Amino acid sequence: MPDDRELWERIGRGDALAFDALYRTDAPKLELFLRQILRSRQAAEDVMQETFAQIWRNPNGFEPTRGALGAYLFGAARKRAAEWWRKQDAASNRKIETERSESKAEIASLVGDAFARLPEEQQTLIWLREVEGQSYAELAVILEIPVGTVRSRLFTAREALRSVWHAPPNAIRRAHEV
Amino acid sequence: MKCEDTAEFVSALCDGEKIPREAAEHIGECEACRTRLNAYSAMGTELRRLASLQEQTEVKARPWEKVPRATFKWWRKGGTTMKIPRFAFASMLGLILLLSSGLVLVRARTGGGGPVLLLTFELDGATSECIITTDGNARTNVCGITTAVRGGGMTGVKFRFVNREGDRTQLGVKATYKGNSDTFHFTDDFKDVPETTIWMEPGEKQRIAILGWGDFELTGEYLDYMPSLRWRPRETLDPKKNEFRIVSPVLVRGKEVLFNLTGSDSTDSDDPEATLMIYYPKEGRYLISTAPFEGAVEGSVAPGQIKFTLDGQDYLLLTAMPTTRSEHVWVTHDPQYKLSEHMQGARDDQSMFMVRSLRKLQQPQIRHIM
């Protein structure tokens, strides 16, 4: 298996096989991540495809000294996801999702439901740290923030998740009605 | 240590990060902190379980064929006015071309070594442009820009030509953010910034990250000529109304050349008190303004020349391009002026010139983005 630098150099030279290897390895993880923050299977697939297509058309921006190729991919996908949200009527979409979730009080105590209530940046941080195992340095590259800020924002995100997770269902509902 | 002091370290500990000894001791003894640690750990476990339960779809196989490149634009329709908000332009003072000292700024055409790359930035709601050449000319193959961003702080972006393959140009990019600062030093503030490389293609948009701040949109296109003004490439040689430009000034007193400088600066338009300040070691400071002011003598303006008389001696300021549409200027000379006393970080043995509003230059302390 080539290392990130070698793989990237091959991609930069237009090596379709090298890029396909990257796609097959990382696209499923990327799509799963996008599904969490976009809350739509179709949108996640579209954004994932766009992310890879853009990188293939224009293999720019990855710098091996700043982090792993995987981190770069998540960073690129995160930006595309943010663009996707901007293009949507985000406010109404989120409202629909919230109402849908609240109608199922029985699952409100599950961590997944609590997670869905967090802002996207906090979701991104927690998912990439806890599920993808990205390091603080990689998270700094993905989110374009200093490493010290990663630590404080992760703490804030965990606290937010903990407070929603442990709150009783009606308390969660009240919070969203405000 | 109290729980509120260690709370952030509990999160860091959960990630396997090293934490201060005092925090570690407190967490070991504190029931509430251990509960928090257990909660974080349980949340992580639950999330990973959730991820495992979710179906990880097999991605659709797709062909990765070479994508056709965007059409190469040799000519660009002129006449489009560059729109730069004042605050953004004001923050660009000091400017692009200080990046490489002693620039030869003005050329009618490139020397046949290849086209010129016009880079357009959309940063913090403002549009800016700069020019680099892709012909290997070390004097013109770098450009950059600083911007005072909303919310405070300065961003600095610098581009360096690396390589060119057909329509694609490879650039080295340094992008950085200085929070809580309103100055940016092109040499020092880029020193420790890592350079990344990107490939530019004409007309294609891409986003460039500025560590600690966000990102901006960059596009590029090729021109087959060097614009008269590298820092405002869509503009003509003729200054705008109430604009003052200065490029490579040479000051002659009688028959003696007092100084011969390179570089450039300009104000934005619509400053009726646009004023040039030139400082030269042992010569002191000259102020040349388009507005009359106390103690100043009147001088006359011709294309590329400003003439005035001070203390019975005739002066001729030669510049590489027209400076102002005004027919008259007002001039003072202060031979005792010490740059170090009026500008933070400046030395008295360095020459410099800049164009600002008269009011700013008359203040006891003046600022300069260097």
pLDDT category at B65 given cuts 50, 70, 90 is low
pTM: 0.43
**B257: which strand partners?**
B252
pLDDT of residue B105: 36
Q: Are residues B97 and B176 in the same domain?
A: yes
pLDDT digits (tens, 9 = 90+) for B309-325: 999 999 999 998 889 98
pLDDT (0 to 100) of residue B318: 95
Determine which of A39, A155, A164 to mutate to test the interface with B (most B C-beta atoms within 10 Å): A155
pLDDT, position A107: 36
Q: Cβ atoms within 10 A of the Cβ of B342, count?
A: 18
Residue B280, classed as helix, strand or coil, is strand
Domain assignment of residue B341, given as a range: 245-361
Q: Quick one: B132 and B9 in the same domain?
A: no
Is the pLDDT confidence value at B257 over 90? yes
* Candidate from A89-103, A117-131, B22-36, B42-56 with smallest mean pLDDT: A89-103
CATH class of A89-178: mainly alpha
Closest CB to A144: pick one of B57, B59, B209: B209
pLDDT band per the 50, 70, 90 thresholds, residue B125: confident
- Contact state of A151 with B8 under an 8 Å Cβ cutoff: yes
pLDDT band, very low/low/confident/very high, at A167 (cuts 50, 70, 90): low
Question: So where are chain A's domains?
Answer: 1-88, 89-178
Taking residues B347-353, report their average pLDDT: 84
**Structural domains of chain B, count:** 3
Higher-confidence position of A37 and B146: A37
ipTM: 0.78
Shortest distance between the Cα of A149 and any Cα of chain B, in A, equals: 9
Residue B352: the pLDDT is 84
Q: Which CATH architecture has domain A1-88?
A: Orthogonal Bundle (1.10)
Question: Do B144 and B179 touch, CB atoms closer than 8 A?
Answer: no
CA nearest A135 in B: which residue?
B15
What pLDDT, on a 0 to 100 scale, did the predictor assign at position B254? 92
Asked which of B223, B256, B289 is the last residue of a domain, the reply is B223
What is the pLDDT confidence band of residue B57, given thresholds at 50, 70 and 90?
low
Q: How far apart are CA B330 and CA B328, in angstroms?
A: 7
In a domain, B64, yes or no: no
**A with B: how many residue pairs have Cβ under 8 Å apart?**
114
Residue B153 shares a structural domain with residue B210: yes
Judged by CB atoms closer than 8 Å, whether chains meet at B15 and A65 is answered as no
Asked if residue B71 belongs to a domain, the reply is no
Phi then psi dihedrals of residue A99, to 5 deg? -60, -40
Please check whether residue B229 lies inside any domain of the structure: no
Domain identity same for B106 and B48: no
Q: Is the pLDDT of residue A27 over 50?
A: yes
User: Do B104 and B202 share a structural domain?
Assistant: yes
Asked whether residue B277 is assigned to any structural domain, the reply reads: yes
DSSP conformational letter for A129: I
Residue B59 counted as domain residue:
no
Asked whether residue B166 falls in the same domain as residue B283, the answer is no
Are B90 and B219 part of one and the same domain? yes
Which pLDDT tens digit goes with each residue over A50-71? 898 888 877 777 877 777 888 8
Q: Does B208 touch chain A (CB under 8 A)?
A: yes
Residue B86 pLDDT exceeds 80: no
| Residue B299 placed within a domain | yes
Residues 6+ apart with CB under 8 A from B258: B251, B252, B280, B283
Contact A130 B44 (CB under 8 A): yes
Whether residue B126 sits in one domain with residue B219:
yes
Query: Tokens 């290897």 map to which residue?
Result: A21
Least confident of B106-115, B178-187, B289-298: B106-115
B181 close contact with A: CB closer than 8 A: no
